[in-house]
Amino acid sequence: MLDQSFSLKNFRILLDVENRKGRYLEDKVFFDSDIFKKSREVSDLIIEKNKEIREESNKVKSIQKIEERDYTKLDKLNLEKDNLKTTREKELEDILIEIAKKTDVEDYKLKIKKGQIKWGSQLYEIEHNPENYLVSKQLQRNIYKTFKVKQANRKVIIDQLRILLNDGFPKIIIRTDIEKFYESIPHNELLSKIEENSLLSYHSKKIIRRVLNQYWKILIQDGTKSITDKRVGIPRGIGFSAYLAELYLRGFDNKVKSLRNVTYYTRYVDDIIVIITPNHRKEIKKILSYKNEIKNILLNTTSLNINISKTTTYKLTLENKERKNAITYELTYLGYKFNIRYLRNEEKNKDGITIRSFITKGQLQVFMSDNKLQRYKNKIDKSFIEYLIMITKYSNQKNATERMLLKRIKFLTNNHKLKSRKSNVFIGVYFSNQFLSNPLLDLIELDKYLKHKILSLPNTTSENLLEKLNTFSFENGFKTRNIVRFNPKSFKNGKMVKIWKSL
């Protein structure tokens, strides 16, 4: 039977899971309180011991004659390492027992509060401490395991779309989203689905109910809702809210996928793409019929509505010989802009005179979405504005101010590894944009934009700073996949990335 308890055993599993994802919870800057200090200190000793073991192992292997190799010191080092691992587990156990004591009480609840407003939506957050973090992650795991729901993988979706949009087969594409998705999910319908599942633990259900109650009270307190309104909405920004949203829409997803002639369906949160392949190019069924089918399924399976103003359709059923004009269809999805092109070509005779023109399917082009490209520019702007403010305000800290500008531009134009002891998790200009197609026009544009900002710096700017800034390139960081390292404190205390938080 699935263990859903908020216990030492499960918290220990979660530590390793989060570590593999690049979130090293034991780091002294992850939580405000350095609760994992003792276990981390032992972990550091294990790392040092591993270095000694590698050095001694190489030394032993360098001896050609096997019978002359002495493994005494190597065996001793491995034993010391095993003892350190045992010590670390004991330290972790003591820490996690104390955390579990705080959560294993009848009145425990995850306290939520308003966070920042991002892209026009109010986000919420849970008080950032070890017990809340681990409970939230365990709750996510419980929902996932008992309902078999999870959020779609962005990279997998983009990779699939890249292939489908370039294959040249006749298709109708519907791109839409759900109106005020998170804010419109009815509590009674969602809780009914949760209560129907006998596998999800009582404790998990209770935490979900309490979070929804807190969320509703916040809406009433700030005047967004009144006490007589129908209770709707789940808090954006809370990790397990995504799982609750997936659960609520599962029936809708399954019905759309089963529609006749639907060959591809994907949904990321509230953004939906449906690809329909008609039985033949001349099929008379109108696009509006397909749109209405999807709209009615949503109405029949949920209490949500399609956002008509954000619904776009693309009819790609004509044969090339039937097309009279060149045309480019733009489809924007999950931070990328796909250009589906039909190009005019000409056939000329030996004298160079056009004897006929015709339309052919061009190669798919993949760009950043306009919003994503603008966010990069906004981050560049913020970096230089902050530099100019600080260099004027704190002229006696010139070197530190220059270093901070260099770090920010270095961060934007390169890639880096998230801190982790057990895995390689990378983010950056390549890893966030890996599906861009050549000739990388967006990155070339960003390089020009960056050069313009550098040239706009005051005449008093040091030559050394200008020289270093001019070495950075978005295009080069993408092509080389260059990995740079940053001190974790740069992320925790906000000195480097906080200025971009609202972008």
Query: Per the structure block, which two tokens stand in for 162?
Result: 């890249």
Q: Three-state DSSP class for 407?
A: helix
Statement: residue 82 has pLDDT above 80 = yes
Task: Look at residues 2, 8, 11, 1 and name the one whose alpha carbon lies nearest to residue 138.
Answer: 11
Q: Three-state DSSP class for 240?
A: coil
User: pLDDT tens for residues 285-300?
Assistant: 678 888 999 999 999 9
Q: What is the DSSP string of 246-260?
A: HHHHHHHHHHHHTST
Q: Rounded to whole angstroms, what are the CA distances from 226 to 113, 183, 223, 232?
A: 18, 15, 7, 12
What are the extents of the domains in the chain? 8-104, 154-312, 371-500
The separation between the first and the last C-alpha atoms of the chain, rounded to the nearest angstrom, is 44
Statement: residue 263 has pLDDT above 60 = yes
Query: Per the structure block, which two tokens stand in for 450?
Result: 């960056």
Mean pLDDT computed over 131-150: 95
What pLDDT sits at residue 168?
Answer: 87
Q: Where are the alpha helices (DSSP H) in 302-339?
A: none
Give the CATH architecture of domain 154-312.
2-Layer Sandwich (3.30)
Specify whether the CB–CB gap between 115 and 107 falls below 8 A: no
Q: Which residue has the tokens 């080069």?
A: 476
Residue of 105 and 414 predicted with greater confidence: 414
The 10 Å Cβ neighbour count of residue 260 is 8
Mean pLDDT computed over 103-130: 89
Mean pLDDT computed over 217-229: 94
- Under the banding of pLDDT at 50, 70 and 90, the label for residue 281 is low
Specify whether the CB–CB gap between 248 and 189 falls below 8 A: yes
Mean confidence (pLDDT) of the chain: 91
Mean pLDDT computed over 227-232: 95
Residues 215, 11: Cα–Cα separation, whole Å: 26
Query: Per the structure block, which two tokens stand in for 95?
Result: 């820490």
Statement: residue 28 has pLDDT above 80 = no
Query: Per the structure block, which two tokens stand in for 92?
Result: 């972790």
% of the chain exceeding 90 in pLDDT = 73
Residue of 24 and 141 predicted with greater confidence: 141
Q: Three-state DSSP class for 267?
A: strand
Instruction: Tell me which amino acid residue 234 is.
Output: I
Q: Which residue has the tokens 């023109």?
A: 357
- Under the banding of pLDDT at 50, 70 and 90, the label for residue 377 is very high
Helix, strand, coil % (nearest 5) of the chain?
50, 15, 35
Q: Residue 359: beta bridge partners?
A: 344
Phi, psi (deg, nearest 5) at residue 445: -65, -40
**Burial of 249 per CB tally in 10 Å (0-12, 13-18, 19+):** buried
Residues 269, 241: Cα–Cα separation, whole Å: 11
Q: Which residue has the tokens 């129907």?
A: 196
